[in-house]
Chains A and B, each alone.
Chain A
Amino acid sequence: MLLLIARRLLVTIPLLILVSFLIYSLIALVPGDPAVTLAGQDPTPEQIAAAREELGLTDPFIVQYWHWLVNAVQLDFGASLFNSEPVASAIAARLPATLSLTVLALLIAILLGVAAGTLAGLRPGSWIDRVATFSASVGVAVPYFWVGMILVLLFAIQTPLFPAIGYVPIGDGVLTWASHLILPATALAIAPAAVIARQTRAAVANVMTEDYVRTAEAKGLPRSRVVGKHALKNAALPVVTVFGIEANRLIGGTVVIEQLFAIPGVGQLAFTSVFSRDMPMVQGVLLTTAVLILLINLLVDVSYGYFNPRVRQL
């Protein structure tokens, strides 16, 4: 098992380098000259040339990338072109909000999706199954921002249970932290929950007809053990796969949701820095997101080994 984790980690490193190269070249291809941005208003050609020199833009592309990469490995992504704030500290300041939002949303998605999918999969064709399947179809179809607005309308404006916008760090009290996050996290969680529910339903319904489930019944185990232990561990594999895919999509969704709920997170930072062409900031944000996604995929890969012992030898 440890070997599996080590091997996956090793595979992650070249992947990360490739991703960083793509991020860097993508930014270089974007029209607009960062030197012009940095040189201020109505720059003279000399000022622009000086700025270009300062940014290292006169070096060959691959050298530029190499400098950027060496610094990035030391968590130095340069400074914002606008307020000269170091990119790393800007991201670090916003990461807790985004991580809180993402983790909470993923938790809601798993709990809701697995619970609904299991209940439906245990009794295919029952009314529970029909309700769950219908809700999942609706859940997959509605966009994040629409769910977010409806939630605000229902639970912040009509019945003011939760604040409509804003973010409070967890240090200021877990309850206020959670109450600010519950609506945006739910808005993010609905679509992944629906996809997870569908996958869980199919997997559970399939696994329940397996011979080993009958064996577990014949051993006299209580129903909760038969389902919770013998069926769910085997049903988990396809569910974990969609979980990985949905988690990646959900991170993308934070850009919209942080905007909608005025949460000062990395998604909002991405939004503003793209519009202001703050390239070092965009690069830093993209790289952070990429690391986050690679970490989730690593987790998914490693969990395959837990759920399916046959994978461990590969």
Chain B
Amino acid sequence: MRTGQPNQPTGGTASELLRISELRVDFATEHGWANVLGGVSLDIHDGEIVGLVGESGSGKTVTGLSILGLVPSPPGRTSGGHIWLHDEDLTEVAEPRLRQIRGNEISMIFQEPMTSLNPAFTVGDQISETFRRHRRASRKQGTQRAVEVLDLVGIPNAATRVHAYPHEFSGGMRQRAMIAMALCCDPRLIIADEPTTALDVTVQSQILDLLRSMRAEIGTGILFITHDLGVVAELCDRVVVMYGGEVVETAPVHDLFQLPRHPYTEGLLSAMPQLGSRTAKLASIPGHTPEPWAMPNGCRFGPRCTYHQESCSESPVALESAGTERQARCARLAELNLRGAS
């Protein structure tokens, strides 16, 4: 189904932090088992920010949740593949070990800061709780740490705000608090699932600045899940584009914007608003993401693709090398010349 690395890599290069290989996840639906992730592979290095891009329903959130074993089950189940955190396979480890890793080695920031904090406990308690759990620290040390990280993410008067409840925080401050919570145990990897989508634009750029400086100061790797290519251009080192539960293209961010190798990426780029072309109508990709129980044969993007040929739908398309450090999943990879962002 796929070329590239063999299926059982352990370790990898020294700086490799996380490697997902051939991850398959199914969901039980009224149509039977539906394949939501069809063999997703990606890797993240220490201190690297990788953007995971795709439309709603492309499987990017499920990929993020899978890493921490948080895919709700039922209805979800992992039916294949591996998630290597250094030389530990997270799809194999027992639940107690997974709970040691969560919030400690890998932590997660969610899309909705308004609902992701518990309204019944103070912000400080929710941060200190994570620290106490993983560091066996006292209540006092926990609160101290909470003040430290709240200060780090730019909450003014952290020493008093630590005792505030979530409803006393604005949306932007809550997301900062979520980031503080994610940072409190110095994790090696943060999975950020659309952390800026629910925020207004000025707050959005503050949060992006914050994530960038966290990477610089602490050296955390970040898997940044988003549908917004503009944010990706601003923040990420490398991009992984997903469509229909598959990785369709992966490339360093600059290369991807300059010269996309997959028609879907080209479509995403042309749908981005450009400065200085305010009269031009924004392009959009016709059609919608396929439902997991009705995946097209062959290339999953085929029915929506401008370059579609009959041969594209004959057999599954493999993810192939498309230049240095990049791969794409397109049957017409060699012949197409696609347009990048101007």
Taking a contact as CB atoms under 8 Å apart, the answer to whether A310 and B129 are in contact is no
Tell me if B120 is interfacial: C-beta within 8 Å of chain A: yes
Query: Which residue of A212, A218, A225, A229 is within 8 Å of B108 (Cβ)?
Result: A218
Tell me if B161 is interfacial: C-beta within 8 Å of chain A: no
Contact of A212 with B167 at beta-carbon distance under 8 Å, contacts A218-B70, A307-B120 already known? no
Tell me if A211 is interfacial: C-beta within 8 Å of chain B: yes
The segment from B14-22, B97-105, B292-300 found at the interface with A is B97-105
Query: Which residue of B100, B102, B167 is within 8 Å of A218 (Cβ)?
Result: B102
Closest to A215 in B: B116
A residues 197-220 in Cβ contact with B at 8 Å: 210-212, 214-220
Give complex CA distance A229, B181 in Å: 17
Distance (Å) between the CB of A51 and the closest chain B CB?
Answer: 60
Tell me if A309 is interfacial: C-beta within 8 Å of chain B: yes
Taking a contact as CB atoms under 8 Å apart, the answer to whether A218 and B117 are in contact is no
Give complex CA distance A214, B64 in Å: 13
Taking a contact as CB atoms under 8 Å apart, the answer to whether A219 and B120 are in contact is no
Give complex CA distance A39, B335 in Å: 116
Distance (Å) between the CB of B146 and the closest chain A CB?
Answer: 13
Tell me if A308 is interfacial: C-beta within 8 Å of chain B: yes
Tell me if A94 is interfacial: C-beta within 8 Å of chain B: no
A residues 206-252 in Cβ contact with B at 8 Å: 210-212, 214-222, 225, 229-230, 233-234
Closest to A218 in B: B108
Tell me if B90 is interfacial: C-beta within 8 Å of chain A: no
Give complex CA distance A215, B116 in Å: 6
Taking a contact as CB atoms under 8 Å apart, the answer to whether B118 and A216 are in contact is yes
Query: Which residue of B115, B121, B133 is within 8 Å of A219 (Cβ)?
Result: B133
Query: Which residue of A211, A219, A234 is within 8 Å of B129 (Cβ)?
Result: A219
Distance (Å) between the CB of B148 and the closest chain A CB?
Answer: 17
Give complex CA distance A156, B115 in Å: 52
Taking a contact as CB atoms under 8 Å apart, the answer to whether A210 and B115 are in contact is yes
Tell me if B330 is interfacial: C-beta within 8 Å of chain A: no
Taking a contact as CB atoms under 8 Å apart, the answer to whether B130 and A220 are in contact is yes
Distance (Å) between the CB of B102 and the closest chain A CB?
Answer: 3
Distance (Å) between the CB of A60 and the closest chain B CB?
Answer: 53
Taking a contact as CB atoms under 8 Å apart, the answer to whether A220 and B100 are in contact is yes
Contact of A234 with B133 at beta-carbon distance under 8 Å, contacts A214-B110, A221-B99, A309-B165 already known? no
Distance (Å) between the CB of A240 and the closest chain B CB?
Answer: 13
Query: Which residue of A212, A215, A221, A233 is within 8 Å of B133 (Cβ)?
Result: A221
Give complex CA distance A222, B96 in Å: 8
Closest to B191 in A: A218
Contact of A219 with B102 at beta-carbon distance under 8 Å, contacts A211-B110, A309-B167, A310-B167 already known? yes
Distance (Å) between the CB of B134 and the closest chain A CB?
Answer: 7
Top-3 shortest CB links A-B:
A220-B102, A219-B103, A220-B103
Can you list 24 residue pairs at the A/B interface with Cβ under 8 Å?
A: A211-B115, A211-B116, A212-B117, A214-B70, A215-B117, A215-B181, A216-B118, A218-B70, A218-B102, A219-B107, A219-B129, A219-B133, A220-B100, A220-B104, A221-B103, A221-B129, A221-B133, A222-B133, A234-B120, A307-B120, A308-B119, A309-B120, A309-B167, A310-B167
Given contacts A222-B99, A307-B120, A308-B120, 5 further A-B contacts (CB under 8 A): A212-B117, A217-B70, A219-B107, A219-B130, A220-B102
Binding site for B on A (CB under 8 A): 210-212, 214-222, 225, 229-230, 233-234, 307-310
